[in-house]
Amino acid sequence: MKKKESSMNVSVDVAWKSLNKHGEELCGDKVEVLKTGDSEIVILADGMGSGVKANILATLTSKILATMYLEGAPIEACVETIAKTLPVCKVREVAYATFSILQIFHNGDAYLVEFDNPSCVFVRDGKVVDYPYEERVIEDKVIHLYRFKVQLNDCFVLMSDGVIYAGVGELLNFGWTWDSMAEYTLKCTKETLSASRLAAMLSKACDDLYGQKPGDDTTVAVTRVIERRIVNLFTGPPTQKEDDERVVKDFMRGEGRKVVCGGTSANIVARILHKDIVTSLNYADPNVPPTASIDGLDLVTEGVLTLGKALNLLRRYEQDEFDEAFFDELDAENGAAKLAKLIIEECTELNMFVGKAVNTAHQNSNLPFDLSIRMNLVDQLKECAEHIGKNVNVKYY
């Protein structure tokens, strides 16, 4: 693969999955994902022990690191603050929380800091790669610092130590070693490049090794380096009919995938572009209306029902309810699954073009004010997509 120059403009695809220690309601690991003007940052903190105490320690650590990093504080100041805030355990003589921080700049520069977490698994061009690191002692803590340039399709897996202890006393005498974890990660990257699918596969492997009873909080955070991917979604007719042409021109002008949700919206696009609508006869799922196709567009679906079902899938993903069965649903041949899959796996930026004409079929007469179900769905879709790390722009007509 041709190496990109420093002018490259990369994005990242981040997903993580946590298993709580068996019998615990709270996880002692915490992942934070931050966006700055020129970079994206992934922080994984692991609080010592399990349950409430570990959860508080991990949350404190990740929040301190996140706040200080966003303020531009150097790593020395961050570690110093954590060292002074979280005391050392008197019994084990180790810090109360460990952490990994991965920062990837849009120009391809990257920076990784590790304190007592297992090393990051780094996959490039079908191989697990070792990077040289600088060792620093800050506040009596040994920190590993890495600086490097990323390439497209690079994959990083940050993990808590529950990952490499998976299987201890169950299937394996000494647990899953870092090498076996790295080898399994490499195998998974040959099957999928989606961060969310990789996180689900690695988490399931750990869960299986623990016999579905994790002996420790276990978290994997997968970061992939990808190109910027734009999805443009048009739904709902404009308030003024004379704006039909303007919304279609705006919608078609930009780069990226083109999706239309709603029969009226599809008719507007077909009329302005002088194209035919071809309705699919494939009723793969009787609960989801069939899709259609318009030449030059990537996906044409029905409106409110499809948006609602796509939103349900996105909500489950947002709430960490994704496993192999979830991805089987995401791969289904229906409009809702296709839309959700586009947003979860093939989108860094979602541009929504929303007509505000109220469809009388979508109004609820019990409400004291005029509320379109579609507008409500658009608001929820925007909020959910932002929560899962997408940049969302909405333009109303």
* Interior/surface letters 243-267, b for 16+ CB within 10 angstroms, e for the rest: bbeebbebbbeeebbbbbbbbebbe
Residue 1 forms part of a structural domain: no
pLDDT band at 364 (very low <50, low <70, confident <90, very high): low
Tokens of 58: 């991990």
Residue 5 forms part of a structural domain: no
Average pLDDT over residues 38-65: 92
pLDDT at 370 exceeding the cut of 50:
no
Strand, helix or coil at 125? coil
Count other Cβ atoms within 10 Å, centred on residue 380.
Answer: 15
Number of H helices, E strands in the chain: 10, 18
pLDDT for 333 equals: 92
Contact (Cβ atoms closer than 8 angstroms) between residue 117 and residue 161: yes
- Do 219 and 304 lie in one domain? The reply is no
* Number of domains within the chain: 2
Average pLDDT over residues 189-213: 92
If you ran DSSP here, which 8-state letter would residue 3 be given?
P
- Do 199 and 113 lie in one domain? The reply is yes
pLDDT for 369 equals: 42
Q: By residue range, what is the domain housing residue 148? A: 10-227
- Do 238 and 326 lie in one domain? The reply is yes
- Do 184 and 256 lie in one domain? The reply is no
Average pLDDT over residues 136-157: 92
Q: Cβ neighbours of residue 14 under 8 Å, at least 6 residues apart?
A: 33, 40, 42, 195, 221, 222, 223, 224, 389
State pLDDT tens for residues 62-100: 999 999 988 888 888 988 888 778 766 666 565 578 999
- Do 26 and 136 lie in one domain? The reply is yes
Residue 100 forms part of a structural domain: yes
Residue 237 forms part of a structural domain: yes
* Rounded Cα distance, 370 and 386, in Å: 26
* Rounded Cα distance, 193 and 212, in Å: 26
- Do 219 and 345 lie in one domain? The reply is no
- Do 249 and 266 lie in one domain? The reply is yes
pLDDT at 259 exceeding the cut of 60:
yes
pLDDT band at 365 (very low <50, low <70, confident <90, very high): low
- Do 256 and 222 lie in one domain? The reply is no
Average pLDDT of the chain is: 89
Residue 368 exposed, middle or buried by CB count within 10 Å (0-12, 13-18, 19+)? exposed
pLDDT for 6 equals: 43
* Rounded Cα distance, 165 and 218, in Å: 9
pLDDT band at 242 (very low <50, low <70, confident <90, very high): very high
pLDDT at 367 exceeding the cut of 70:
no
- Do 234 and 223 lie in one domain? The reply is no
pLDDT for 170 equals: 54
pLDDT for 3 equals: 35
Q: Concatenated DSSP letters for 243-264?
A: GHHHHHHHHHHSSSEEEEESHH
- Do 211 and 316 lie in one domain? The reply is no
- Do 49 and 142 lie in one domain? The reply is yes
Average pLDDT over residues 378-384: 96
> The domain spanning residue 175 has which CATH number?
3.60.40.10
- Do 217 and 242 lie in one domain? The reply is no
pTM of the model: 0.87
